[in-house]
Copies of this chain bind each other. A is one copy, B any other.
Amino acid sequence: MRADAQRNRERILDAAEEVFARHGAAASTEEVARRAGVAIGTVFRHFPAKDDLLTAILKRLLARLAEDAAALGGADGLHTFFTRLVARAAARRTVVGLAGVDVPEAVGRLGDAVGELLRQAQAAGTVRRDVQRPEVMALLVSVCQGALHGGWDEDLQARTLAVVFAGLAA
């Protein structure tokens, strides 16, 4: 792949993330092309169908989250990650959970990273021993979705997370 093709690919992904975040998955591919500064044909050359574009965004997003999570650790790593993620969802209407798109391995890697944070938190005594990874992931997704759809302010975010954290606490 040529260098400019690679650069276009990134620009398209950036534009798509922004556009779909702002207007939902129903936003038009033309709009993505426009914001990326390329022609519509270029978008379809890189992503043969709209769904491929959505999938690619989600994949990249999950990969970044996994990286983020992997960079954290210690007693409060899980809490920090959780809080940060929710704040981002509430603030930026992130594209978490674009309906109809499945990216098993990416989700898997994120799950692993979160699992590690959980292990460390439990080792440090910050989280109860009988809590398991699936429900932590479930809560993560839930609260992000809730924040996304509800437009919470900072205060409500904090109070809601406080309940969840109390539920996780030893």
Interface size band for A: 20 to 34
What is the total number of copies of this protein in its complex? 4
Name the distance in Å between A38's Cβ and chain B's nearest Cβ. Answer: 17
A129 within 8 A of B: no
In contact, A134 and B159 (Cβ under 8 angstroms): yes
Chain B residues, CB < 8 A from A163:
131, 135, 139, 164, 167-168
Kindly list chain B residues whose C-beta atoms are within 8 Å of the C-beta of A156: 134-135, 138
Hey, what's the 0/1 contact readout for A127-169 against B, CB within 8 Å counting as 1? 0000110110011011101111110100010011011111110
Shortest CB-to-CB span from A92 to chain B, Å, is 16
Partner of A132, one of B146, B159, B165: B159
Query: Inside 8 A of A166's CB, which chain B residues have their CB?
Result: 166-168
Q: Are A146 and B135 in contact (CB under 8 A)?
A: no
Query: Which residues of chain B have C-beta atoms less than 8 A from A148's C-beta?
Result: 145
B24 touches A149 (CB 8 A): no
The distance in angstroms between the C-alpha atoms of A162 and B139, with both chains bound, is: 11
Question: Do A142 and B167 touch across chains, with their CB atoms under 8 A apart?
Answer: no
Chain B residues with CB below 8 A from A48, complex form: none
Find the B residue at minimum CB distance from A128. Answer: B166
A37 within 8 A of partner (CB): no
A168 to B132, CA, bound (A): 19
CB distance from A138 to the nearest CB of B (A): 4
Contact of A150 among B141, B147, B150 (CB under 8 A): B141
CB distance from A24 to the nearest CB of B (A): 6
Q: Out of B24, B26, B146, which one reaches A142, CB within 8 Å?
A: B146
